[in-house]
Amino acid sequence: MTNRPRAIASASGWLVILVLWTTSLRGQLLGEIMPELQVVSARVANQVPAGTFSMPVSGLRYEPRVDFHARNLGEAQADLTIRGGTFETVGIRIGGVSVVDPQTGHYLAEIPIAAEMLQPPEVITGTDFAINATNATSGAVSYGWRPIRAEGSLRITAGEGQLVGASLYQGFSGKFLRGDVAFARSSSEGLLPDGDHEFGRVNARVQRVGARSQTDLFAGYQAKFFGLRNLYTPFNSPESENLQTVFWALNHRLVLGPEAFLEASAYHRRNKDDYAFNRFAPLGRIHPFQHTTWVSGAAVSGRVGDREKAVVFRGELLGDEIKSTSLNFGRYQTRTLAKLAAVGEKFWSLDGASRTGAKLGAAYDDSNRAGGFGSPVIEVSREWSSSAVSRMFLSYAGSSQLPSYTALNANSAAGLFRGNAGLGRERSRNLELGLVGRAKDWIGQAALFRRADRGLVDWTFRRGVTARSANAVDVDTTGFELVVRRSWFRVDLMVGYTGLLKDADYRGAPVDASFYALNYARHRLTAALTYRLSAEWSLALDNAARVQADNPLRARGGDEALFSALGLAYRPAGWRGFSATVRADNLWSSNYQEVPAVPAAPRLVSFGVGYAW
């Protein structure tokens, strides 16, 4: 295709995959034991997407506590929101460090790590979030480093739109060190005009595991090219993104006791973004929007004490920089972010079957570019060992962040995205009542919360202006969240519900509609079903139904939608480790626009074979 850059040289990429697969297959033929494919997330039914290879973000599409807004493929570009926040208020934690995207939260999910190298994601909110995440205000997704085992897997996929893809993972175990490598490629012409993609990823990790510790050193590179008309703007232009992400991480976790630990981490991330409003424009005009960001960070966190009393602490330092051809209208292009948090925990036994607890501490965020923000971290709880309700708590905590460089440094008077150099620190406070319990064979958790966001950055629309603008908004969000799970002999079921109400004040700014802060579901229901039809056949079905708040920017698809993903897998008993699958994303071919004015991706069907050893 004209003007389509290549993510990774095709010949060399496929050659590496075939050579390593041949080596692993030879080992299997010699009689090595083949474990089952690893589970990426226990909260969703489909572990692998239909349209490309798995990425850390793949397990979040139908996550009950994460609202996922995709542009074409979710693995191409995805906005994550938690509890009615925006794509810029969510954090991601890898090991012990907070990964941030200083340019714009649109690229927060550019984490070039194979899903097989990470623990299943954990969504953190409330007091845990206030302590353990930096530069985010609504919630965070946390991944731990998975221990390495001497096992591997190969997946090959083909599907509609000339989709071809493959991923390979191999772990190695030695006497003193362990290691693993991963390679993945995917390409497609797409099912929408100019909706093609080409992705490639290479990973390597070295791990040292002791009796009470685990140390991980990781290096990863990912290249992604993808296009779509109306990717970010509503002018029917053939837009495209060309991203290259480098990620280095060092993580050491030491277990001090049954509930005590110490973790020290550091990372570096470089994300290079070449956005084209018209990818087919004459040479010399196709690249007016090029941005490169660098982030380096280090953190120390831990819990010292026992089950009855402890101190939880965290200290983190992040430094970032941007170099851009267009984001040059703000006050600065480098900054340093710092966070300190310390909370004491104390529990008192009331009788042999219950206890009460309290947490008291504070979190403080600071920067060389804005004043600091401190907030108390308070929680009282009651726990029962022989009751339908196992835990109930009431908590209050705050968090804050600085705006992205796109919001701060874009031209405020011209262009497609108009910034606001006067934006300041965003502040948030959260009050929450929650419980965890069990009723017969059902296990669940629920929370009622109210979050007050002040100075939240939103991208807004005004009639007569052909651009979106960054504006500060004060938003009060009231929500209810419920997640329940039950397993039968053949069936696993996970159901989630989130209900939200919002009250927004744009401080007098001329705003007619909101692209993000008011693009939320009043009601969102998820259901993940895994049905073991027989010893060899299984069915996986993920569903997300929503009733969206009214938004004049959403031209098609209405305010109600149902998305489903289906996977049918065959694993023959006589060939252990082999699997054949049929997958479908957007099963009902809904035309609902997850992001206003961005066309929905149609149903996509793919076929895959996998082998694990």
Q: What is the CATH number of the domain that holds 62?
A: 2.40.170.20
Tell how far CA 106 is from the center of its chain.
Answer: 11
Q: Is the pLDDT of residue 205 over 80?
A: yes
pLDDT of residue 38: 53
Q: Furthest-apart CA pair in the chain: how many Å?
A: 77
Neighbouring-strand partners of residue 425: none
Residue with tokens 């530069």: 135
Mean pLDDT, rounded, for 417-430 = 96
Neighbouring-strand partners of residue 579: 610
Task: Count CB atoms within 10 A of the CB of residue 499.
Answer: 17
> Structure tokens of 298?
């280090």
> Structure tokens of 525?
């229901």
Within a domain: residue 265?
yes
Percentage of the chain beyond pLDDT 90 is: 86
CA atoms within 13 A of residue 301's CA, in its CB half-sphere:
23
Mean pLDDT, rounded, for 185-199 = 97
Within a domain: residue 337?
yes
Is 152 exposed, middle or buried, given 0-12, 13-18 or 19+ CB atoms closer than 10 A? Answer: buried
Within a domain: residue 394?
yes
Cα distance between residue 241 and residue 289, in whole Å:
10
Q: What is the pLDDT of residues 536-561, one digit of tens each?
A: 999 999 999 999 999 988 877 688 99
Dihedral sign of CA atoms 349, 350, 351, 353 in order: negative
Contact 381, 356 (CB under 8 A): yes
99 residue type, one letter: V
Is 342 exposed, middle or buried, given 0-12, 13-18 or 19+ CB atoms closer than 10 A? Answer: middle
Mean pLDDT, rounded, for 136-146 = 97
Contact 582, 565 (CB under 8 A): no
pLDDT band at 575 (very low <50, low <70, confident <90, very high): very high
Task: Count CB atoms within 10 A of the CB of residue 14.
Answer: 15
Mean pLDDT, rounded, for 224-249 = 95
Smallest Cα–Cα separation from 520: which of 80, 71, 57?
80
Residue with tokens 């909706």: 195
Within a domain: residue 60?
yes
Smallest Cα–Cα separation from 242: which of 283, 270, 219, 271?
271
Mean pLDDT, rounded, for 141-162 = 97
pLDDT of residue 558: 80
Q: What is the pLDDT of residues 72-112, one digit of tens each?
A: 899 999 999 999 999 999 999 999 999 999 999 999 999 99
Cα distance between residue 484 and residue 64, in whole Å:
10
Supply the range of the domain harboring residue 247. Answer: 10-612
pLDDT of residue 246: 98
Cα distance between residue 564 and residue 54, in whole Å:
17
Residue with tokens 């965020």: 365
Q: What is the pLDDT of residues 63-74, one digit of tens each?
A: 999 999 999 899
Would you give the DSSP letter of residue 145? B
pLDDT of residue 33: 29
List alpha helices for 9-153, DSSP H. 10-29, 126-132
pLDDT band at 26 (very low <50, low <70, confident <90, very high): very low
Q: Is the pLDDT of residue 17 over 50?
A: no
Q: Across all residues in the chain, what is the average pLDDT?
A: 92
Within a domain: residue 5?
no
Within a domain: residue 2?
no
Neighbouring-strand partners of residue 290: 274
pLDDT band at 35 (very low <50, low <70, confident <90, very high): very low
Smallest Cα–Cα separation from 474: which of 450, 462, 458, 460?
458
243: CB partners within 8 A, 6+ apart: 107, 110, 222, 223, 224, 225, 271, 272, 273, 274
167 residue type, one letter: S
Smallest Cα–Cα separation from 399: which of 436, 435, 362?
362
Within a domain: residue 3?
no
CA of 90: how far to CAs of 84, 106, 310, 316, 335, in Å? 10, 11, 28, 17, 19
Q: What is the pLDDT of residues 333-352, one digit of tens each?
A: 999 999 999 999 999 998 88
Contact 190, 197 (CB under 8 A): yes
368/552: higher pLDDT:
368
Contact 312, 363 (CB under 8 A): no
Is 391 exposed, middle or buried, given 0-12, 13-18 or 19+ CB atoms closer than 10 A? Answer: middle
Quote the radius of gyration of the chain (alpha carbons, Å): 24
Within a domain: residue 509?
yes
609/31: higher pLDDT:
609
pTM of the model: 0.92
Backbone angles phi, psi at 560, to 5 degrees: -125, 140
Q: Could you tell me whether strands 468-487 and 417-418 are parallel, antiparallel, or unpaired per DSSP bridges?
A: parallel
Q: Give the chain's domain count.
A: 1
Contact 237, 255 (CB under 8 A): no
Neighbouring-strand partners of residue 335: 320
